[in-house]
Chain A
Amino acid sequence: MAILEIKNLHKEYGKNTVLKSINATVEEGDVIAILGPSGTGKSTLLRELNMLEYPTSGAVIFEDQDITKASEAGLDKIRQDLGMVFQSFNLFPNMTVLDNVKIALTKVKGIADDEATATAKQFLEKVGVVDKVDVYPASLSGGQQQRVAIARALAMNPKIMLFDEPTSALDPEMVGEVLKTMRELAQEGMTMLVVTHEMGFAREVASKIWFMSDGDMTAYDNPVSFFENPNSERAQNFLAKML
């Protein structure tokens, strides 16, 4: 069943067209790897799914509602269901690890403090940084920070997780620990959209590939067919460079 539908999504910055009428569907449980060369609109597409950026035209249907037309208050509600993880982690530096995860639970969801603490610790345990609850983000490694960021998003119990190049800012030796966490999440059946350059991860974990190039998007329902037999020149060139 389609959990998210993208209809004729179009984005222009001035004269520059970034997304050219994209159409796509996300099924529950999908793990979609969004691949493609840099500057082809991958992140823009992802950010338009929770309205961090607004499309020029088109619709994003989430649970039978066009969220491009949602009110500000409605959007605040919808965003709780769309967890997001950023390239630069974006942890709140003025809060401890625990508070980073907890604050949305108490302030947005209105959950009682002790219950929120328990939930936060549960998710920090899940991503393997529960021993760091009382430290500030600046004293964590990049890999640890990103795993806290994942825990922060997961604690809100989202229906979809959006990952915007989650390993691009990490030192190579830390990429593995973050990908491991994401792989576990995929195995649990979380619906995920992942903008990434990690071809190995895409090949192993993704159930679908969206290949983007110059604002166009081609969806491959079978990752193997994309990697083995990409029937477009642009995809072939991309893979030749990446693999």
Chain B
Amino acid sequence: MKKWMKKVAILLMAIGMFISTGAGVFSVKNVSAAETDPTLSRVKKSGKLVVGTAAEYAPYEFHATVNGKDKILGFDMDVARTLAKHLGVKLEVQDMSFDSLLGAVKTGKIDMAIAGMTYTPERAKEVNFSTPYYNDKNVVLTLKENKNKWATLDQIRGAKLGAQVASSQSKLASTLTDKKTVQVKKITDLVMQLSQKKVDAVVLAQTSAKSYLTQSDQFAITKAKLPITTGNAVSTVMNKNSPVFKERVDQILKDHVIGAPLQKWQDKAFKQAVQKDSFIKKYMPYFIKGTEYSVGLAVIGVFFGIILGVLFALMKMSTIKPLKWLAVAYIEAIRGVPLLIQVFLVYFGTQVIGLDVSSFLAGAIAMFLNSAAYVAEIIRSGIQAVPAGQTEAARSLGFTKNQTMRYMILPQAIKNILPALGNEFVTVIKEGSVVSVIGVGELTFQTSVVQGASFKPFLPLIVTAVIYFILTFGITRLLNFFEKKLHKSDKSFG
């Protein structure tokens, strides 16, 4: 019980932190003074270059354990180090989600973003792009055994091609083949389809393709030369109001990065990305973090779900008609709509009414609003399953209605509902995977991260499945134990 409470406390703190960091970003947005302050003078004044990155994209930037310490490696980090060195300042790296990088640059939270970011007209409206320091060519990846089958553009016309949905590669792929292209959201899934021969070849950026080559000797890059216009120009990203800073950065990139130095760093990064560490050792932190979030979501979901559920259960059993109707309407509405839709409704609905809610908080709210409906029904049936004779016996002894509820009905009802409540907890842990859609870092979300970082599409799924099973099975066993303890009063001599 103590551990439980500890976990709940940690989670409540976590929610608090999420809210406060969210508020932090929000308030910085309103400080327009930071945008007018030239970045260069800030860097010079503070003596450090603050670089933001999203370290989930090997070999550009990725987390790795070096001498027992978690570090961000990748050739982008060498680029950052070189820039800082030639600016004459120290380097400070901040890891954040890819989506928040542009906002951080605009608000001056970071001086520069280096995260394998490619130029798009939309992004260029918001921020300044440096001169590209690397052109990540598109290549065609296929199985080694088919390397010669798809060696020319002519041959590829007859291939079934796969590409990441809405990417420059997907446009390219559809012009290369006469067959219909397969479009998938994640590159890892694409590569899995390739290994299972569901597609003949995959069009993707060279850097990603090479990573797969280092991970597995199953694949090969074909000799087919793709049109030169379809590269991915990778730049660093800076605030629009700092043209002088951009000039300096461009110069350093031209003098000390582009060409041979970058090539050297890339080779090093590729090697580092393929660490000797076992998969588990390397990626366990992701799974642990995801498990914490999953359990946290479930604890919050069921905890507040029970509080709200008791309320709705009592309302549904109330003799006051409007309360009863409200409870019935809520329960039926929640049970009649998929959780996925409810998660989106909470996440985007809070934005519509002007609340800046983090994805974790939105996910947690959706979970307990959903859970409350089911818990309400569990509690109601638990209370109603206590025989009427118990109430009659208690009342005939002079117990008040409330006393009867407290001493006779609820203790028996709790015993009745514990198994169902346990099932609900298990259900919530599993259904928590749904909130990964809004970017909550729970187990299912982390699985995608590991799939991306490890270039292994299947193994992370197995690990996740095992973790889910251990969680749910463990909880079920634990509940059985408590249930047995509670039922000691039912044991008869017979």
Q: Which of B376-412 contact A (CB under 8 A)?
A: 387, 389-390, 392-401, 403, 407-408, 411-412
Determine whether the beta carbon of A136 is less than 8 Å from that of B488: yes
Known contacts A94-B412, A152-B397, A86 near B493 by CB under 8 Å: no
**Binary per-residue interface labels of chain B (480-494) against chain A in the complex, 1 for a CB within 8 Å, 0 otherwise:** 000000001111110
Q: Is the CB of A108 within 8 A of B489?
A: no
A52 touches B396 (CB 8 A): yes
List CB contacts (< 8 Å) of B411-439 with chain A. Answer: 411-412, 415
Report chain B residues within 8 Å CB of A109: 398
CB distance from B487 to the nearest CB of A (A): 9
Whether A86 pairs with B415 at a CB distance below 8 angstroms is no
Tell me if A241 is interfacial: C-beta within 8 Å of chain B. no
Tell me if B412 and A104 are in contact (CB < 8 A): no
Q: Which residues of A contact B395 (CB under 8 A)?
A: 52, 76, 79
Set of chain B residues within 8 Å of A50, measured between Cβ atoms: 396
Separation in Å of the A81 CB from the closest CB of chain B?
Answer: 9
* Assembly CA distance A138 to B415 (angstroms): 15
Report if A130 contacts B (CB, 8 A).
no
Q: Pick from B392, B490, B491, B493: contact of A90, CB below 8 A.
A: B392
Assess whether A76 is in contact with B400, with CB atoms less than 8 Å apart. Answer: yes
Known A90-B389, A94-B412; judge A104-B397 contact (CB<8 A).
yes
Of all chain A residues, the one with the shortest Cβ separation from B489 is A136
- Distance in angstroms from B120 CB to nearest chain A CB is 66
Q: Please tell me if the beta carbons of B412 and A93 are within 8 angstroms of each other in the complex.
A: yes
Q: List A contacts of B411 (CB < 8 A).
A: 94
Q: How close is A68's CB to chain B, nearest CB, in angstroms?
A: 16
A60 at the interface (CB under 8 A from B): no
A92 — which chain B residues lie within 8 A by C-beta?
A: 390, 393-394, 407-408
Q: How far is the CB of A49 from chain B (nearest CB, A)?
A: 10
**Shortest Cβ distance from B397 into A: residue:** A104
In the complex the two chains form, is B492's CB within 8 Å of A107's CB? no
User: How near does chain A come to B17, taking the closest CB pair, in angstroms?
Assistant: 41
Interface size on B, residues (CB 8 A): 25
Q: In the complex, which residues of chain B have a beta carbon less than 8 angstroms from the beta carbon of A180? A: none
Tally of contact residues, A, Cβ under 8 A: 32
Assess whether A156 is interfacial by the CB under 8 Å rule.
yes
Contacts of A93 in B (CB 8 A): 412, 489-490
Contact of A94 among B396, B397, B415 (CB under 8 A): B415
Cα A63 to Cα B387 in complex, Å, equals 32
Contacts of A108 in B (CB 8 A): 397-399, 403
| Min distance, Cβ A217 to any Cβ of chain B, angstroms | 22
Judging by beta carbons under 8 Å apart, are A86 and B397 in contact?
A: no
Q: A79 touching B392 by the CB < 8 A rule?
A: no
Answer yes or no: A195 CB below 8 A from chain B CBs: no
Contact B489 A79 (CB under 8 A): no
Option from B398, B407, B415, B490 in Cβ contact (under 8 Å) with A77: B398
- Contact yes or no, A79 B396, CB < 8 A: yes
Is A86 within 8 A of B393, CB to CB?
Answer: yes
Whether the Cβ atoms of B491 and A136 lie closer than 8 Å is yes
Bits for A131-170, please: 1 = Cβ < 8 Å to B, else 0. Answer: 0000011110000000001001100100000000000000
Which of A50, A83, A104, A152 has the largest number of chain B CB atoms within 10 A?
A104
On whether the beta carbons of A138 and B412 are closer than 8 Å, the reply is: no
Max count, chain B CB within 10 A of own CB: residue among A50, A83, A107: A107
- Within 8 Å CB of A156, what residues of B? 397-398
Specify which of A52, A79, A107 is in contact with B403 (CB 8 Å cutoff): A107
In the bound complex, residues from chain A placing their C-beta under 8 Å from that of B407 are 92, 103, 107
Q: Which of A61-109 contact B (CB under 8 A)?
A: 72-73, 76-77, 79-80, 82-84, 86, 88, 90-95, 103-104, 107-109
Instruction: Select from chain B the residue with minimum beta-carbon distance to A152.
Output: B397
- Contact residues in B for A82 (Cβ distance below 8 Å): 396
Find chain A residues with CB under 8 A from B398 CB: 76-77, 79-80, 104, 108-109, 156
Q: Which of B387, B392, B397, B492 contacts A139 (CB 8 A)?
A: B492
Are B489 and A107 in contact, CB atoms less than 8 angstroms apart?
A: no
Pick the contact of A136: B389, B399, B401, B490 (CB < 8 A).
B490
A88 and B389 contacting across the interface, CB-CB below 8 Å: yes
Partner of A138, one of B392, B399, B400, B491: B491
- What are 16 A-B contacts with C-beta separation under 8 Å? A50-B396, A52-B396, A72-B401, A73-B400, A76-B400, A79-B398, A80-B397, A83-B396, A84-B396, A86-B389, A93-B490, A107-B399, A136-B490, A136-B491, A139-B491, A152-B397
Q: Interface of A with B (CB < 8 Å)?
A: 50, 52, 72-73, 76-77, 79-80, 82-84, 86, 88, 90-95, 103-104, 107-109, 136-139, 149, 152-153, 156
Extra 15 A-B pairs, beta carbons < 8 Å, given A72-B400, A153-B397: A50-B396, A52-B395, A77-B398, A79-B398, A80-B398, A84-B393, A86-B392, A86-B393, A90-B390, A92-B408, A108-B403, A136-B488, A136-B490, A136-B491, A152-B397
